[in-house]
Amino acid sequence: MTEDAPDLAFDESDLLPVVAQDADSDEVVMLAYANEEALARTRETGLAHYFSRSSESLWQKGETSGHVQHVEEIRVDCDGDALLYRVEQEGGACHTGFESCFYRTIDGAVVGDRVFDPDDVYDED
């Protein structure tokens, strides 16, 4: 980080929420969390890394599916307690096969596009 870099305000679990946004369309494709290691790996590799709260482990987006996120820019919100990854998304961002994790309305209407079949991508054995 540079001298002018904002201080980051990680929460009590040492995590920051990360919104991933398609750099071309500006569509929000997913929300995940990052710890310091995930952020460092993202900056080192240019590929989005996150921290899984359920498995308590670091993961690279697309590690299993091949649907990686190339991070073009990382932005920090005004309070330093959230990040925005502007990404080039390969394939779908959602593990359910949709282009974005935000593919349905609060009433359940599907408004997004399914771009892959998760059964073809994820081995459940």
pLDDT one-digit tens code per residue, 31-43: 999 999 999 999 9
- Taking the domains of the chain in order of start, what are their residue ranges? 16-92
- The whole-number pLDDT of residue 87 equals 98
Are the C-beta atoms of residues 76 and 95 closer than 8 Å to each other?
no
Q: What CA–CA distance (Å, rounded) separates 20 from 13?
A: 20
Task: Give mean pLDDT, residues 86-109.
Answer: 96
Please give the CATH topology (third level) of the domain spanning 16-92. Ubiquitin-like (UB roll) (3.10.20)
Using H for helix, E for strand and C for coil, what is the string for 45-57?
HCECEEEECCCCE
- The whole-number pLDDT of residue 3 equals 56
pTM of the predicted model over 0.85? yes
pLDDT at position 5 over 80: no
Q: What CA–CA distance (Å, rounded) separates 117 from 85?
A: 25
pLDDT one-digit tens code per residue, 43-61: 999 999 999 999 999 999 9
Whose tokens are 């670091």? That residue is 58
